Amino acid sequence: MPRPHKTRAPVHYRVEMPDLHTHLYQVTLTVPEPEALQRLTLPAWIPGSYLIREFAKNLQDLQARQGRRALDVVQTGKSSWEVACKPGQPLQLAYTVYANDASVRTAWLDASRGFFNGTSLCLRAEGHAQGPHALEIRAPKARSAWSVATGLTALQVNPQGFGTYLAADYDELADCPIELGAFWSGTFKACGVPHRFVVAGATPSFDGARLLADAQKICETAIRFWHGTRKPPHKQYVFMLNAVDDSYGGLEHRNSTALICGRRDLPRLGEPKSSDGYTTLLGLISHEYFHTWNVKRLRPAEFARYDYSQENYTRLLWFFEGFTSYYDDLLLRRAGLIDDATYLKLLAKATNQVLQTPGRRVQTVAQASFDAWVKYYRQDENTPNATVSYYTKGSLVALCLDLTLRHEGKTTLDDVMRALWKRCAGGPMTEADLRAELASLAGRSLDHELDQWVHGTAELPIADLLAAHGVALQPEAPQLAQRLGLRVTENHRVQIKTVLRGGPAEKAGMAAGDEWLGLDVKGQGWRIQRLEDVAFYAGPAQQVTAVVARDGRLLQMPLALPAVAPATSKPAGQRGRKAAAATPDTIRLTASDSAALARWLA
Ligand SMILES: [Zn+2]
């Protein structure tokens, strides 16, 4: 039974790193006033990444004591324990956590760097979660160059940041990851708010000043988007970027974000032009920073209070991830960090991703949101045929709403976002709130559009809406893999990852997992090593025999090769929906009316 909250001394965690290369954090948790039967749990997931990860798998050697008396720890579930305690005496728990995941979602520790989320390291003392939590981080021996970066409030720390931090409750502790190491660090102010940017793993060619200047522009553009000249809800913000050989991702938090990128994506000294990789990194920075408002504060009503022990379902990820994806690149354009042509290239890429996903006819973005736990985060060979991304299609829903509102001339999606923020006081919201604000600002209901685009699988009217805003959408010749209806990996051999619904490869009988060895063209056999070899050896032939290996057998399959010309209609067999028949697989976008385009992108 929950007992009434009273002011208590903080729950206290001491984190030590006695032996860095074992990947083990040593944690000592003190609960000053434990319950008679003190329950302890570790989260099964981390907010922002919708998959049950069962962080308890990395927790080991859990021991409990009161004073000098060792207590029994009874495990009651995969992530829960109980300890019978004497009242009025602090309970101390000691355990270690194995930290060998370089992603932003769990924890990492080795001789070069440390990183952790509270969800991986901090047992939750049930009955105390609403009260204050102190986190003491002890500096590892023989690492005098290491520092700490975190969004937590420092209580008593040394110049490197080692010492004690304070969180108002368990949620805040869990929402403030910690970066440890000899990282690069810089600061800037955005609209008066102090921001810190730390980068682990940077090379000597890294242009830190450039990154700071560009991040500052992004942050100022985002703050002005939401608040004009008024103050944002966060008093400080920390970017924690880990640059590695090859990876990409980010996780949003209330006043920080953990990012990971390839080292080659960092801006380089003496390189005036942005590389595509750096533009992608700026998009990631913009995306996670926009989440400071859209999902960390304005958030699904179902996330009003997280249940860390199980899936927290919402049908609104198309709004929180999709609309954030619409604004991430748009704010780069508004911040002057990319030009119109680059913006249209990024928009065409997102559009093509959706058009090349047969699953958009099977699943709505509201369903995709609810199913994130078992589908988006657990992708397999069937994913493109059965699901649609609430990120990419959600961003196109935002685009269609924005352009519809702008075309009608009464309001814009920007105004709707700000009105929603006010209506929900920067807190939990429902789809009904969005519908109400749309109707109120647009002067008419947009229920029909949302029913079609969010709760239906009809094609989005992108071409017409873009044309009204100075952008021409033209079909483009699809890539060979797309023409064949395949996703493959190529490593001196062609391995089939996915066979797309309704395409020539499916009709031929190919299956995910097949190795495509070669083809027979008019009685001549050819070995292929990359997909492009199919076009090379087939030449003008429209009918060939594909040779594939499956489960140790060689199979021969008659394959009809599609024409090279731009596909202006879907391959036959895609359920013959009339609206879809006119939609090409692959498009490009070009500016047709720069004044109209400027009115939208400005
Ligand atoms: Zn996101």
| pLDDT tens string 524-559 | 999 999 999 999 999 999 999 999 999 999 999 999
**Is the separation of the CB atoms in 514 and 548 below 8 Å?**
yes
pLDDT band of residue 164 (cuts 50, 70, 90) is very high
In this prediction, residue 536 carries a pLDDT of 97
In this prediction, residue 273 carries a pLDDT of 86
Mean pLDDT over 247-254 rounds to 98
Give residue 457 CA to ligand 1 midpoint distance, Å: 23
Handedness of CA 12, 15, 16, 22 (dihedral sign): positive
Mean pLDDT over 230-241 rounds to 97
In this prediction, residue 582 carries a pLDDT of 52
Give residue 227 CA to ligand 1 midpoint distance, Å: 21
pLDDT single digits (tens) 342-400: 999 999 999 999 999 999 999 999 999 999 999 999 999 999 999 999 999 999 999 99
Judging by DSSP bridges, how do beta strands 471-475 and 587-591 pair with one another? Answer: antiparallel
Residues with CB under 5 A from ligand 1 (ion): 321
Residues 6+ away with beta carbon under 8 Å from 35: 85, 126, 127
Dihedral (Cα; 197, 202, 203, 207), 10-degree rounding: -20
- Residue 578, pLDDT > 90, answer no
Give residue 70 CA to ligand 1 midpoint distance, Å: 44
| CA 168/CA 226 separation, integer angstroms | 25
In this prediction, residue 565 carries a pLDDT of 57
| CA 519/CA 524 separation, integer angstroms | 8
Q: How many Å from the N-terminal Cα to the C-terminal Cα in the chain?
A: 55
Residues 6+ away with beta carbon under 8 Å from 379: none
- Residue 12, pLDDT > 80, answer yes
Give the three-state DSSP class for 330: helix
In this prediction, residue 7 carries a pLDDT of 63
Task: Provide the 10 A C-beta neighbour count for residue 91.
Answer: 23
pLDDT single digits (tens) 13-46: 999 999 999 999 999 999 999 999 999 999 999 9
Mean pLDDT over 440-461 rounds to 98
In this prediction, residue 584 carries a pLDDT of 81
Give residue 294 CA to ligand 1 midpoint distance, Å: 9
Average pLDDT of the chain is: 95
pLDDT single digits (tens) 59-93: 999 999 999 999 999 999 999 999 999 989 999 99
| CA 546/CA 522 separation, integer angstroms | 12
Give residue 321 CA to ligand 1 midpoint distance, Å: 5
pLDDT band of residue 418 (cuts 50, 70, 90) is very high
Query: Residue type at 107?
Result: A
Residues 6+ away with beta carbon under 8 Å from 31: 11, 38, 90, 91, 92, 93, 125, 128
Give residue 412 CA to ligand 1 midpoint distance, Å: 22
pLDDT band of residue 564 (cuts 50, 70, 90) is low
| CA 582/CA 187 separation, integer angstroms | 51
% of the chain exceeding 90 in pLDDT: 93
| CA 434/CA 423 separation, integer angstroms | 10
pLDDT band of residue 138 (cuts 50, 70, 90) is very high
Residues 6+ away with beta carbon under 8 Å from 375: 368, 383, 386, 387
In 3D space, the residue among 240, 251, 26, 29 whose CA is nearest the CA of residue 148 turns out to be 240
The helix (H) or strand (E) run that includes residue 599 is helix 594-601
Give residue 373 CA to ligand 1 midpoint distance, Å: 15
